[in-house]
Structure 1
């Protein structure tokens, strides 16, 4: 006889479990019960059970904490998890700690409990070497049949609708064989949801997603859903009784939004849907499947949690050879000249262009690689460690490859450019200034130094007299307004002169000097050499 300990804070659940089975008839005996993890540990120290039926949410010590203790001190004890949908994170971690099975409480009955116990018994009877292997769940026959059925449908292995209808009747599938559509469900950020190589968490997620979706389809009396592979699931709907394509579209959207909302609320995951073409007969559902697979690639543009249809897809994607030289030059200039607002505007405009023109995936990658190239160049020139810019030790190309949508890549690049901007310019006298008026004046200089600004102009902008601003400014910065502005413009000019292929006349304009001769004279006075000499020195 294998000894079973029941651990659940609800007396009703413990009582129900005790009287649900004829325990001894199937080779088990109840060794005791506990209302929380701490009570269970005290019991286990005195009499170690073989199997524990373990609730997740309990006071004092929950099921996850207890599973850690059991993995450490009692690795031979088999755990069967009792959970709700919203316990997914708990279940995922207890499976990592060696739980052999899980039962959703709303599915708890004599059959599910007996099956789980027999699986735990099989593990106990195996050798020690097999005890740590991945969850060995005997697949539910109905789920396995449905999965195999969908694969046969998608590969065109049926010759008549009558043959399919007989199988639907046998498996109690409510789905007409006329006017059908295939919809692919894809879990967003699948690897981060289940963890790398965590087949137990993946198995639970597959089961839960299908279960949640089936509960919703029951309300509509129509539909078949099953797992295909990894993050992908198949959903087949029929609209044999519908004549209006508009009504069909509305009903599809209604069903998918209901599934999406439930999965987010119950499992805390988002999914994307790719809708294939409508087929007259289920025998041609493979055509709808191929279209859905093709459409799913456009999740890159539409973003996670989206419903993707053929109507939203641009027929021809534009190719790209990467960033234009002009855009690359503008980005570098903004970084070097402390033009943060213009930098952000450029980046957002670039990604808006990619989205609007539907730049192909390969073309988009060319642009992204060029952006990474700019970052690497700036870091190398200014001796900025890459660890300051990137938040991980992984290569930027690998980090970017883990992002699934254009919106996520845009957000990632904006954060990276903000990091490099801060690394270049750090804390400046704008932040350190004590007077709010001087802070405002310095900010105006930073943002408008390339324009024709003066002390009186800045004073008007911040609503104080030019005399008062002049006094405050010199007290806090140590130099007069005009001297500070000239020095700031010269520093920006020096930064641009270090770049290749930038015309000096263009630099004069970018840095706010209206006269080339004046710029030449003031530069030589402040730097000790002409602009051309400085540029040549920087490139030797």
Structure 2
């Protein structure tokens, strides 16, 4: 039986706690009580309680001060916080100091109190088990608790797999709620809005909530009557594995897991005001298949990208769309829009392609993320032409676009970010052009990039920017290093090379597309710049 001390400055609260709960039944004896933190500390030094239930607001020494003193003098003593104050700042500091849980004094019912103390008892029992294992020759310095040992077991299972003999032995020793035979299911739970949670919690992310979330998930197992275990994955991810009797119909298990996930989602939203999404893997008939079905559950959780936050996603085995998000022609169109400064049109092009890709038979989320990376790289290449880089100041909205893409959770979130990014890109491109060429030549280059396929005359462009033709010709060559005609021809031939590489158009069609009405003149200019004719260039591509 574990020793409990109750600390509260209200006598009625202490009396109520002592008389309304059957403490011996829960495995506790009340070894002491106090009405302030200083007295509690003095008593604790004498009785060395296993668990302290303390109020936060008390005279002489408050609950947080008592926690700090106990942590220093009696580090093995566990603490529960009792308070009327709902301010999360108190909760956060208490959890940082190592409190097991937080009890709102005015709203907690007896059944809920008993559940909190049952979880606290489980922690104390785990530590006792850890000591027993240390005596038996296990390496306790590697583990903080039985739960962590269970987590290490699942990590080992998912990384490298385990042999049947090793699996059976560890199932028993670690008290895992998994049968050695039957059917098995796996669920991957992911906390939504993880990036915002990190920012809100000063970079600590979910660290303060991991233990309470594990407790809630354990409680969900108990309430549902399902058998299984929960473990921590990467940040913001929890793995759930389920064990079903051999006679359970395989077809009914995914539906049952879906209901379980729906109830758990509502519970986490109620208690933590957090949104969570789920991936459910296929059913296995061998415990050694847990690695495979959990990886498939993790893959299913990735479909949050399409389905949104709070979604429950089942593993998909059917085929998917194979058409790329951005083919060669569309990539060329995107580059031309960006080079000519038409960033709003570039944004519309990308979002239109994305809407098409996310309708109907969608492709695996990881594949779509790779294609979105190619979109960002196209932006990066254009920026680099003018001496800019995405990974150098001034930073795009949200920071490094590669990190944003890796962490974004839904297409809706990515579209919102991309809207701001496209606006930032346009502004940054104009800055770089102005730094490199000056305002007048930058305007001229923007006009040329937009209209290179039409008949361009030096005088008309000079008029466009309000400058004398002779002076503009001199300024253009000074800043770009090329005269007007050579620059336009160079641009057109680069566009023609892209079309020769990526399109099936005939040479005369490509000539017209890039602004040459006469295919012979086009071939002459192409050979002057490239060194070979368009036909030879295309033939060389086919040989490669």
> Shorter-chain-normalised TM-score: which range?
0.5 to 0.7
Contact 1:179 1:240 in 2 (8 A): yes
* Structure 2 residue matching 1:498: 3-state secondary structure: helix
Contact 1:80 1:116 in 2 (8 A): no
1:107 paired residue number:
115
2:221 paired residue number:
214
Q: CA–CA distance in 2 between the matches of 1:68 and 1:422? A: 52
2:351 paired residue number:
348
1:523 paired residue number:
464
User: Scaled by the length of structure 2, what TM-score is found?
Assistant: 0.56
Match of 1:32 among 13, 31, 34: 34
Shift of 1:227: 0.7
Moved more, 10-19 or 290-299: 10-19
Pair 1:67-2:64 in alignment = yes
Q: CA–CA distance in 2 between the matches of 1:12 and 1:306? A: 42
Q: CA–CA distance in 2 between the matches of 1:421 and 1:405? A: 24
User: Scaled by the length of structure 1, what TM-score is found?
Assistant: 0.56
Residues 255 and 346 (structure 1), Cα distance of their counterparts in 2 relative to 1, 3 Å cut: same
1:236 paired residue number:
242
* Structure 2 residue matching 1:201: 3-state secondary structure: coil
1:539 paired residue number:
480
Contact 1:304 1:405 in 2 (8 A): yes
Q: How does 1:471-490 map to 2 (within 5 A)?
A: none
Match of 2:280 among 259, 269, 275: 275
Q: CA–CA distance in 1 between the matches of 2:248 and 2:18? A: 47
Name structure 1 gaps, 5 residues minimum: 35-39, 123-133, 427-490, 509-514
Q: CA–CA distance in 1 between the matches of 2:377 and 2:314? A: 30
* Structure 1 residue matching 2:241: 3-state secondary structure: strand
Q: CA–CA distance in 1 between the matches of 2:117 and 2:478? A: 82
1:412 paired residue number:
417
Shift of 1:327: 0.5
Q: CA–CA distance in 2 between the matches of 1:60 and 1:158? A: 58
Shift of 1:16: 1.7
Q: CA–CA distance in 2 between the matches of 1:27 and 1:326? A: 75
Q: How does 1:102-141 map to 2 (within 5 A)?
A: 102=101, 105-109=113-117, 112=120, 138-139=145-146
Q: Deviations over 1:114-166 (max 9, x none)?
A: 9669989x9xxxxxxxxxxx9995436xx96698589779946448x9x89x9
* Structure 1 residue matching 2:294: 3-state secondary structure: helix
Residues 332 and 349 (structure 1), Cα distance of their counterparts in 2 relative to 1, 3 Å cut: farther
Contact 1:91 1:201 in 2 (8 A): no
2:54 paired residue number:
54
Q: CA–CA distance in 1 between the matches of 2:207 and 2:98? A: 9
Residues 407 and 178 (structure 1), Cα distance of their counterparts in 2 relative to 1, 3 Å cut: same
Shift of 1:297: 4.9
Q: CA–CA distance in 1 between the matches of 2:94 and 2:386? A: 46
Q: CA–CA distance in 2 between the matches of 1:87 and 1:176? A: 46
Q: CA–CA distance in 1 between the matches of 2:216 and 2:54? A: 22
Name structure 2 gaps, 5 residues minimum: 104-112, 131-140, 432-437, 482-544
Q: How does 1:217-366 map to 2 (within 5 A)?
A: 218-219=223-224, 221-230=225-234, 231-236=237-242, 238=244, 245=251, 249-282=254-287, 284-300=289-305, 302-311=307-316, 314-315=319-320, 324-333=331-340, 336=341, 340=344, 342-352=345-355, 355=358, 358=363, 359-366=367-374
Shift of 1:387: 3.9
Structure 1 vs Structure 2 CA RMSD: 5.9
1:483 paired residue number:
none
2:81 paired residue number:
82
Q: CA–CA distance in 2 between the matches of 1:10 and 1:313? A: 65
Contact 1:272 1:305 in 2 (8 A): yes
* Structure 2 residue matching 1:53: 3-state secondary structure: strand
* Structure 2 residue matching 1:99: 3-state secondary structure: coil
Contact 1:70 1:77 in 2 (8 A): no
Q: CA–CA distance in 1 between the matches of 2:11 and 2:181? A: 46
Residues 243 and 226 (structure 1), Cα distance of their counterparts in 2 relative to 1, 3 Å cut: closer
Residues 145 and 198 (structure 1), Cα distance of their counterparts in 2 relative to 1, 3 Å cut: same
Residues 258 and 370 (structure 1), Cα distance of their counterparts in 2 relative to 1, 3 Å cut: same
Residues 400 and 317 (structure 1), Cα distance of their counterparts in 2 relative to 1, 3 Å cut: same
Contact 1:180 1:240 in 2 (8 A): no
Match of 1:184 among 180, 188, 199: 188
Q: CA–CA distance in 1 between the matches of 2:218 and 2:152? A: 14
Contact 2:279 2:302 in 1 (8 A): no
Pair 1:502-2:449 in alignment = yes
Shift of 1:516: 7.0
Contact 1:14 1:33 in 2 (8 A): no
1:475 paired residue number:
none
Residues 281 and 210 (structure 1), Cα distance of their counterparts in 2 relative to 1, 3 Å cut: same
Q: CA–CA distance in 1 between the matches of 2:68 and 2:239? A: 33
Residues 285 and 187 (structure 1), Cα distance of their counterparts in 2 relative to 1, 3 Å cut: same
Aligned residue pair count: 423
Q: Deviations over 1:366-419 (max 9, x none)?
A: 3223334556767959xxx94474466xx5544554434544333323223334
Shift of 1:226: 1.6
